[in-house]
Amino acid sequence: MSSFMGKEQIKDKKFDFYSVQGLNQVEEALYDAVSGCGGQTKEICFDLIEAGGKRLRPLLVLNAAQCFGELNESVINTAAAFELIHLASLVHDDIIDESNTRRNKPSLNAEKGNLTSVLVGDYLFAKAFEILATNRLIPAMNLAVEAITEMCDGEIIQADNRFNFNQSVDNYYERIYKKTGILIAACCQAGAIVGGATDKEIEALKVYGIHMGYAFQIIDDILDFTGDPKVLGKPVGSDLKEGNLTLPVLKIMMQEEYKRGLEQIFAQPDFSEDAYKEILRLLQDSYALEESYKDAERAVRIAQEALREIKDSSSRYSLNEIAEKILVRKK
């Protein structure tokens, strides 16, 4: 198998995601947002925030805003609200996927059950909208509403298409736009709006965000086959075992002999470890992983091209580097 993850050679260029101005204030705002709740709810929310994560969404809001204006309270609040929306969606995703782990720890649903998890997710959504409404960040709230609506639709589409071998790559992109791309795009647009960008600049950052979402999800789908479970914080192969046909699988299904082989494997009553290994072998033999990685590279290049509409600044450089680093992430 060729070394499709060849972007390892990309150097850090002294770029640190977490040095972005305003991220510490966002962390404080996240804790402040949930500090008023009582007992167990507060403890659970604090644990979810402390678990960390990439903080990609607030980073995008912060950098998008600072391409056009100074850091201010509206920018911080917008970034915090979108991270709460993301945290809520992760909690609900784990329920839907029946995931037992998240970031190398037991998932909330595994520890507390689905009832508590649903309510905590709803609580986080409510706190996000409270931040946006209280601070009259109406354009950002409209973007959040649209994103959540599409995310729900994307989950329903995915559930309806489990083990559907007649899906196309176009169907896949429609699904990941709804599940991943639209929220990332909304973060970029919301940041641009509170930063004072023009309509043309806001549209450019929407294009950037959508294609960032594509690249992020494609790499996520590749890592589902190639990643280290200890680094990912969850078992590999989980999407496939749940019947979610991601881009690498759809790529090999374009070849009839591989499609027949997959259908025979999935027709087995129990999806065994040996069956998973056979699918991984098919992927490696067909170069589907490499071709999927090339699609992620193309999405990143389109995202970076969209940034040409934005005036040069350290924040635009950061957005460019965030896109580049998506290609070499391990989790």
Residue 119 in any domain: the answer is: yes
Question: Given pLDDT bands bounded at 50, 70 and 90, which one contains residue 138?
Answer: very high
Instruction: Please tell me whether residue 1 adopts helix, strand or coil conformation.
Output: coil
pLDDT at 296: 97
Domain of residue 320, CATH code: 1.10.600.10
101-102 vs 105-106, strand pairing mode: antiparallel
pLDDT at 129 over 80: yes
Domain tally, the chain: 1
pLDDT at 125 over 60: yes
24-57 pLDDT, tens digit per residue, is: 999 999 999 999 888 899 999 999 999 878 899 9
Residue 110 in any domain: the answer is: yes
In this prediction, residues 276-295 reach a mean pLDDT of 87
pLDDT at 147 over 70: yes
- Judged by average pLDDT, the poorest of 131-140, 156-165, 189-198 is 156-165
Alpha carbon distance 84, 131 (integer Å): 10
Residue 86 in tokens: 């993301």
pLDDT at 19: 57
Alpha carbon distance 270, 263 (integer Å): 13
Task: Say which amino acid occupies 97.
Answer: D
Residue 6 in any domain: the answer is: no
Write phi, then psi, for 205 (nearest 5 degrees).
Answer: -75, -25
Residue 299 in any domain: the answer is: yes
pLDDT at 5: 37
Q: What pTM was computed for the model?
A: 0.90
Residue 4 in any domain: the answer is: no
pLDDT at 9 over 50: no
Instruction: Please tell me whether residue 102 adopts helix, strand or coil conformation.
Output: strand
Question: Given pLDDT bands bounded at 50, 70 and 90, which one contains residue 317?
Answer: very high
Question: Given pLDDT bands bounded at 50, 70 and 90, which one contains residue 256?
Answer: confident
In this prediction, residues 183-212 reach a mean pLDDT of 98
Residue 331 in any domain: the answer is: no
pLDDT at 273 over 80: no
Please identify which residue in the block is written with the tokens 């002999």. 257
pLDDT at 287: 86
Residue 44 in any domain: the answer is: yes
Percent of the chain with pLDDT over 70: 92
> Which helix (DSSP H) or strand (DSSP E) does residue 101 occupy?
strand 101-102
Percent of the chain with pLDDT over 90: 66
Alpha carbon distance 204, 68 (integer Å): 13
Residue 1 in any domain: the answer is: no
pLDDT at 220: 92
Domain range for 73 is: 16-326
Question: Given pLDDT bands bounded at 50, 70 and 90, which one contains residue 14?
Answer: very low
- Judged by average pLDDT, the poorest of 96-110, 140-154, 172-186 is 96-110
Question: Given pLDDT bands bounded at 50, 70 and 90, which one contains residue 128?
Answer: very high
Alpha carbon distance 197, 125 (integer Å): 27
Residue 78 in tokens: 């917008």
Q: How many CB atoms lie within 10 A of CB 260?
A: 12
